Every structure is written in C-alpha cells, then in structure tokens.
Amino acid sequence: MADAAPPAEGFGFSSIAIIGIGLIGASVALALREAGFTGPIAAADRDDEALHAAVELGIATTTHADAAQAAAEADMIILAVPVGAMEPVACAIGPVLSPRAIVTDVGSVKGAVSRTVSAALPDPSRFVPAHPIAGSEQSGPRAGYASLFRNRWCILTPTDETDPSATQVVADMWRAMGSNIEVMDVERHDLVLAITSHLPHLIAYNIVRTAYDMEAVTEAEVIKFSAGGFRDFTRLAASDPTMWRDVFLNNRAAVIETLGRFSEDLAILQRAIRWGEGDQLYDLFERTRAIRMGIVEAGQDTAAPDFGRPRPAAEERHRTPVPEPASD
C-alpha cells in the first residue's frame, strides 16, 4: 500500500470510499465537495446503473463494482448500504483496510449494525456508527443533492471500543456538510428512531395498503381525492422497500414496543370517537398541533402549505466538478 497522503485541508482524512451510491451516498459526495474536500472519492455499488449515474453526474473520482477495491486505498470509508447488507460489506472490506482507516455508516438502526460491523472489522476502535437524519422518498444517485444534510441532525453512537479521536473526525466531517451533531447510546437511538421514523413509515405503508384493499372505495377514487391527507402518507410509503424491510427486521424490538404503545393510544382515540367525547379529541389535537409547530420552529420542516416541498433549483442539483471518473 502506498504511503498515506496528508489529510485534505480542514478534514482528518485524505481519501474516501462510499460503499453504496444511492440517495445518501451521492449526497455525501456532493456535500463534501461543496464543503471543500478535494481528495479522491471512490464509489462502490453492485448496481451497474448506479455506477453509470455516478460517472455521468461526476460525483466520484473512481467507481467500483467491488467494495474491497474501493476501500483498499481510502482512509475514510462510509457504508451507505441497506442495514441488512452492512455485515457482509464489512466482512468484504475488513481484510484490505489500512490501519489508519476510519469506518462509519449511515444506517437508521444502530444496535444491530454496531454489533455486526464491529465484529467484522479488524480494529473495531476505528468504527464510528452514525445516522444522518435526512432523506426523502426518492432513491438512487440521481436523487442526491449537496444540501440534504444542512441543518439536519446526525446522531453518532460510538461503542465502548470506539476511539474518541475517530469519533471526532466523523463528527467534524458531518459538521462540514452542515449537520448538527448528537451523541447517544445505541439503545436510546433505536428507541427514539422507532417512534420518530420507523413507526410513521410502518403506519404509512399500512394505510396505503388498507386504502387499496377497501372494496367499497375504488383505486381511481383513492388517487383522485388523495389531497385530503392520503397523499402525504403515500410520500412515506414510496420509500425504498429494501431499506425499510431491513430497518424493521433489524430494529424489531423497539418497533414492536412503540407499535404496542401506539395501538393502546389508538384504542383510546377510537373510544373517544365512539362515545362522542369531543373535549378529549380537541385536547389531543391541540397538543399534537403544538408539536407540529415546535418541529417547524426548530427548523426541521417548513410551514409552507405545499407538502410537495419543491427544492429551489439552485439547491436541487448542485454539482461541483471532480476529476474525470474512471471505472475498474
């Protein structure tokens, strides 16, 4: 292996491998370029179309079908694959990693990932589990954009073995991309995300299924009158099916716990409607409206009435030129 290049100015690493070049992986590459990272970025993916898009969009210096080839020369490796693929990817890259390399991830489940990836790597002290709380229902590298992480939270869940200096490098990297940093333990993360992300997606998938299974309502009517609220559930239900299958299978304990609490609360709401308890309904709706306003005031969403959330053209496809890509 060649001598280590000096870290890029303002960063604690000189080269990056992004394993999985979908929405998040592509956005990381774009955000780092916008933040001033000038070192090589290797993109790896098993999907030929994703690699072709990475070349066409100029979001990587080199592209690879093999994760180990991408990771071999990098000193920052970002695992941006579905949660269920984290362990096999870690096993594949482990034997070729430089001792100086830091490995991090972007998975929305941290308990299972922390255990399996740490066990697969030769030096678990160089693994920093992370989760950027950002994304959309769109998927693939063409959906990526540089401002995706701006003013969003990135949660780091270092293990007992993680080197604090590696955690600091990863935290600084996400700050450079515009993220706010929160550090918490893996169990807390998985419970918090079960209620704020995983359960809402599960509910959305089920509501859309229920709507299409109702014999008394036609498919045409569901689509035609979706602006009544159904449309916003379909946005969540359009999310990547592979990613969300893996999320629910790998965070099942926390999801089942929050789903049980939700079912209990839903039964209380059902009883209030059945018995005409208007005051109880009003109090609930008033509290939940206040939570929505708190989210807007915290800058985590906009109060704009268009729930389609169009991005400004200047932000939507910000591309920073990189050296001509090469493919192995």
- CA-nearest of 61, 64, 121, 128 to 96 is 121
How confident is the model at residue 94, as a pLDDT? 96
Q: Rounded mean pLDDT of 56-76? A: 94
Task: Tell me the pLDDT tens digit for each residue of 176-228.
Answer: 999 999 999 999 999 999 999 999 999 999 988 888 888 677 778 877 877 76
325 or 168, which is more confident?
168
Q: Contact at 8 Å (CB) between 328 and 69?
A: yes
How confident is the model at residue 135, as a pLDDT? 75
pLDDT tops 50 at residue 1: no
Work out the pLDDT band at 5, boundaries 50, 70, 90.
low
Q: Contact at 8 Å (CB) between 215 and 189?
A: no
Element housing 236 (H / E): helix 230-237
Q: Rounded mean pLDDT of 17-34? A: 95
- Give backbone dihedrals phi and psi of 164, rounded to 5 degrees, phi first: -55, -30
Name the pTM for this structure.
0.83
Taking only Cα atoms into account, the Rg of the chain, rounded to an integer number of angstroms, comes to 21
Q: What range does the domain containing 20 cover?
A: 1-328
The number of domains in the chain is 1
Work out the pLDDT band at 9, boundaries 50, 70, 90.
low
Listed ranges 54-58, 61-65, 309-313, 320-324; the one with the highest mean pLDDT: 61-65
- What 3-state DSSP class applies to 81? coil
Per cent of the chain over pLDDT 90 is 66
- What 3-state DSSP class applies to 153? strand
78 or 2, which is more confident?
78
Q: What is the CATH number of the domain that holds 97?
A: 3.40.50.720
Given phi > 0 = left and psi -120 to 50 = alpha, else beta, which region is 100? alpha
pLDDT tops 70 at residue 65: yes
